[in-house]
Amino acid sequence: MEETERNVKKDVTHNLVWHTMEISRKMREDHMKQKAFTIWMSGLSGAGKSTIANALEKRLYAMGKKTMLLDGDNVRMGLNSNLGFSDEDRVENIRRIAEVAKLMNDAGLIVITAFISPYRHDRENAKQIIGDEFREVYVSTSIEECEKRDVKGLYKAAREGKIAQFTGITSPYEVPEHADVVIDTAEMDVETCVNHILEQLKELLQESK
């Protein structure tokens, strides 16, 4: 992809030229009276990402915010149904989610994503795609706690060797080093976790009210 003097993106190989839309992101945000951004939640399976993401979205909804929630299994059942859990597919899984989050941000929506997203490099890539309005929430619940909960029975299956490349057991989880918010759901109840996230993101939420 190259940028011309007029700041028009071009992909010469594929004869593509970016079409500039007359209704800008800023106009869409103003229309919705909010600042669009993405809350990217990462953590082990069972850490509490989906639970917190849902509770957080309900609170934002009650505040009158226009939101969308992208959740791991749901996206894997649709948009990414052709992807598995190999390293290559995990990269593509996160890339597509980030592109969708970006499109939704461009439409003016506040997006919450809840994916394990275990690799630092992939989260960095997501940040590159989404841009300045990317906020990382690390759900830091320990593997011992996640395994004890074993909500979906996946840890048991992974320990029995029935699931290959299971994050935290046979596949790595790279801890975020510069997360904007860190929450451990073993120490805080759902409401407290949501309050903590809202408190940390209040500047963005107050913009363009």
Is 34 one of the binding residues for ligand ADP (CB under 6 A)? no
Residue pair 150/45 in contact (Cβ under 8 Å)? The answer is no
Residues contacting 190, CB < 8 A, separation 6+: 48, 51, 52, 55
Handedness of CA 136, 142, 145, 147 (dihedral sign): positive
Structure token digits, residue 158: 């992974």
Is 208 one of the binding residues for ligand ADP (CB under 6 A)? no
Site for ligand ADP in 40-79 (CB under 6 A): 43, 45-52
Size of the site for ligand ADP (CB under 6 A): 17
Stretch that binds ligand ADP, among 20-28, 157-165, 173-181, 185-193 (CB under 6 A): 185-193
Q: Counting runs of H as helices and runs of E as strands, what totals does the chain give?
A: 9, 8
Q: Any idea what the Cα angle at residue 196 is, between residues 190 and 202, rounded to 5°?
A: 130
Is 176 one of the binding residues for ligand ADP (CB under 6 A)? no
Considering beta carbons, is residue 189 or 199 the nearer one to ligand ADP? Answer: 189
Is 151 one of the binding residues for ligand ADP (CB under 6 A)? yes
Sequence letter at residue 165:
Q
- Token match 């894997």: residue? 76
Question: Is 171 among the catalytic positions?
Answer: no
Question: Shortest Cβ distance from residue 185 to ligand ADP (Å)?
Answer: 3
Considering beta carbons, is residue 20 or 142 the nearer one to ligand ADP? Answer: 142
Residue 21 has what DSSP assignment? Answer: P
Q: Which residues bind ligand ADP (CB under 6 A)?
A: 43, 45-52, 114, 149, 151, 185, 188-190, 193
Catalytic residues: 117
